[in-house]
Amino acid sequence: MNNPGIRPECEELLSDLEELRIEGSSEAEVSSALTGASRQHAMHCEECRSAIEDFVATREGLAPMKKALPEAGPWFTARVMAAVKSAENEIEEKKEGVWISVRRLAPRLAAFAALLLVLGGTWAMEVRRREANLQGAQVRQAEGLFETVQTDVANDEIVAPAGEGTRP
């Protein structure tokens, strides 16, 4: 088992103990069911003898629990199968529920879709109209470049170098 705290020579006995398949729980029964080597070892090893004692003590101690375990009633299988059916129905209802809500909301969804279509269409038309206007303006501007006459700039001033105006 290779475990700290357990001597290698004791490991075989501890392993044998847990593999025992006996009904009885007395120390004599347990010891006689062990392999020869484990039995021999237990005779000289105090730790293994106390492991056998622990095994017997827990086995005897827990034995009353066997009588106290609950048993399934004759109706249990029917209860499980009814629960399975009910769970399946619930899943089906959930699936159907989605479709029912889709069908119930269909007129509203159609109206909403129509509204979206109208709004989207209007927006698309508007965008196209604006683009067309913009393009038209650009074309007009490009054509007008060659036709426009340079007008006098009202704010033009004759700037004389400093001091020139004061000369006699």
Partner 1 sequence: MPEPATGGKAETGEARGAADRELVRRAQEGDKEAFETLVRKHQGRVFAVAGGILRTREDVEDIAQQVFLKAYFSIKRFDQRAAFSTWLYKITVNECWDLLRKKKVRPLMYEADLNEEQAHAYQSKEDGGEYVPDVSERLEAREQLEQWLECLDEKDRTMLVLKEVQGFTVEEIAGIMGLNGNTVKVRMFRARQRVAERIRRKKRAARV
The answer to whether the CB of 70 falls within 8 A of the CB of 35 is no
- Residue 29 near partner 1 by CB under 8 A: no
Tell me: does residue 19 bind partner 1 (CB under 8 A). yes
- Rounded alpha-carbon distances, angstroms, from residue 85 to 18, 88, 89, 91, 97: 42, 5, 6, 10, 18
Cβ-based nearer residue to partner 1, 77 or 133: 77
66 makes contact with partner 1 (CB under 8 A): yes
Residue 71 in contact with partner 1, rule: CB under 8 A: yes
Please, is 11 exposed, middle or buried when counting C-beta atoms within 10 Å of its C-beta (0-12, 13-18, 19+)?
middle
Answer for which of 32, 58, 133, 138 binds partner 1 (CB under 8 A) is 58
What whole-number distance in Å separates Cα of residue 34 and Cα of residue 22?
10
Enter the DSSP assignment of 26. Answer: S
Stretch binding partner 1 (CB under 8 A), from 50-58, 122-130, 136-144, 151-159:
50-58
67 sits near partner 1 (criterion: CB under 8 A): yes
Give the interface size with partner 1 as a residue count (CB under 8 A): 37
From the list 12-20, 35-43, 99-107, 133-141, the region that binds partner 1 by CB under 8 A is 12-20
> In terms of residues, how long is the chain?
168
- Please classify residue 38 by burial: count the beta carbons closer than 10 Å to its beta carbon, then call 0-12 exposed, 13-18 middle and 19+ buried: buried
Tell me which residues touch partner 1 (CB under 8 A): 1-3, 6, 14-15, 17-19, 21, 51, 53-55, 57-59, 61-72, 76-77, 79-81, 83-84, 87
